[in-house]
Structure 1
C-alpha cells in the first residue's frame, strides 16, 4: 500500500503534471503557428474586442444562446466550476502541494466540496442523457465522448468515496489519485483541450465580430 502510494503520489504525479504542461504548450504552439500563417487573423486581432468576448462568455446568462437554454447554462457553469476551479481549493490537494513545495492557500469547506462533487456527477449524468436522447447530439457522439465522461466521473466519485471512508477507502484513495492523474494527462490530447484554447478561440471570434463585422458575438 505504502509503496503504491509513493509511486502514485511521486513519479506518476510528476509524469501527469509534466505531460499536461507539455501537452498544453504543444496545443498552444500549434494553434499560434496555424494562426501566424493566416495574415487576416493577425491583422484583425483587437485586444479590446477579444477581452470583451472572453468576459462575456465567462459570465452566466450573458449571451443570447445561454438565455435560450437556461438549464444547460446552469449545468454547464456548475460543471466547469466544479471540475476546473474547485480542485485547486480542496484541502487534501493543497496539503500535498504544501508537503512537496511548502506552498499553502485558503481552501473550501469539506462539506461544500462534497456537494460540488455530487453536482459535477449529476452534471455528467445530464450530459450523458443529452448524448443518448437528443438526435442532433447523438449523431455527433462517438465512443471517445462516453469515455471522456467516465474519465471525468472517476476522480469525483472516488473522491467522495474516500472522503466518506466507505469500504476499502484506502484503495479507493489510490484509485482517486491515479484517475485524477490520468484525467490531467488526457486534457491536452482529447476534446477536453478546449479549456486550453478557449481564450484564443474566443479572442479571435471577438476580434472578428467586433473589428470586422462591427457586431456582437453573443
Structure 2
C-alpha cells in the first residue's frame, strides 16, 4: 500500500515537473524574443531621437533669429553641453543622456499674440496592438467655448501629419514634412498672420481630431 502511494506520488511529481519544464521553456523563449525586440527598438529609437532632437534644435535656432521663441522638449539643458556661445556655438551630447528613453520631441510656440501660444509640432511614440509607431502631429487652439457645467474651455485641433510603424520610418520623408511645415510656419510669423499656417494645415493634412481643455 505504501509502495503504491509512493509510486503514485512520484508519478504526480514527475508529471508536475514535466508541466513546469514545458512552461519554463516557453517563458524563456518569450523572454529572449522580447529582449531582442526591445533591444532593436531601443537602437532604432536612439538613432532616430538623436536625429529628431538635432533637427528640432536647428528649427528652434532659425525661429530664435527672428525673435520667435519656442519651447523645445526635451529641453536643451538636458541633452546639450555648449562649449562655445549659446545658442549658435558648438555643442556636444551631455554625458548620461539617453536619447532612446525620450518619448516625445516637440516644439511649442510661446508667442502671446494671435492666440499662437500652444501651437505645437510634436513627435510621439505610440503603442498600437503591441507595436510601436511614430506619429507626428501639429496642434493648435481655435478659440474657446462656454460649457454649461464646466465653464470656459479651449478648443484644440490636432492634425496628424505622419503615422508609421517604427521599423518603417523614413527620415527623408520626415525631413520633407518638416521643411514643408516650417516654411509656412515661419512665413506666418514674418507676416504676423497665423491664418497662413492654419489654412495650410487644413488644406494639406486632412486627418483631424479635436478636444477641449
Q: TM-score range by the shorter chain?
A: under 0.3
Between Structure 1 and Structure 2, which shows a larger proportion of strand residues? Answer: 2
Using CA pairs below 8 Å that are at least 6 residues apart, which structure has the higher relative contact order?
1
